[in-house]
């Protein structure tokens, strides 16, 4: 377990700055993400067809990027102040679709880090959770996908549609409130019943 000094808050802030900083850190150059996926938008390559470079890039963006944000958020949030850390992962961790091996593993690693971090922050009153959306109508989701492919993905969901930012934001918002103090080390799948 890290020493108390390793978890000392950095800089001056009001707690919310760390949440905003963590959110900003989740954004990456879209070109990097698009290069990982295949050209026809059907998903990512199978495990046996995944190049080492694509595997490394996927983990650099999804896992290492999240690690850096989580660590910084933990350093910035004041101890005893009821801070909240929320990472965004993916419901593919629970569904294991073909063609998403590296992506799924990279998001599962974030979920494992978050669960461990929640325990490592014992005594700080800081909670650490993940929100794992399903397929969500974003520019990144639609990039390279045909209308037919989007319809196929919608059909896999019991609600018969894609998620919207408005479906996910209230869950993240709740986890950031005092009312969510007893929710810690959890992965909340927000996906319309997909998983």
Active site residue 103: yes
d(CA 18, CA 162): 30
d(CA 102, CA 91): 14
Q: Active-site residue among 44, 100, 103, 194?
A: 103
d(CA 107, CA 110): 5
d(CA 92, CA 157): 13
With the CA atoms of 117, 112, 108 and 74 taken in that order, what torsion angle do they form, in degrees rounded to the nearest 10?
A: 10
d(CA 63, CA 195): 22
Point out the residues that are catalytic: 103
């Amino acid at each position: 377990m890290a020493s108390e000094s390793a978890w000392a808050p950095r800089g001056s802030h009001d707690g919310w700055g760390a949440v905003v900083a963590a959110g900003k850190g989740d954004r990456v150059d879209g070109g990097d993400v698009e290069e990982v996926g295949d050209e026809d938008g059907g998903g990512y390559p199978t495990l046996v067809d995944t190049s080492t470079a694509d595997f490394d890039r996927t983990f650099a963006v999804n896992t290492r990027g999240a690690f850096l944000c989580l660590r910084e958020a933990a350093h910035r949030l004041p101890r005893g102040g009821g801070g909240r850390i929320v990472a965004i992962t993916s419901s593919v961790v629970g569904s294991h679709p073909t063609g998403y091996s590296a992506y799924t593993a990279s998001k599962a690693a974030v979920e494992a880090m978050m669960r461990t971090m929640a325990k490592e922050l014992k005594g700080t009153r800081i909670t650490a959770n993940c929100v794992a959306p399903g397929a969500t109508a974003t520019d990144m989701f639609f990039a390279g996908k045909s209308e037919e492919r989007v319809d196929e993905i919608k059909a896999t969901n019991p609600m018969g549609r894609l998620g919207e930012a408005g479906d996910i934001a209230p869950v993240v918002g709740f986890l950031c409130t005092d009312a969510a103090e007893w929710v810690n080390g959890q992965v909340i799948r927000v996906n319309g019943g997909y998983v």
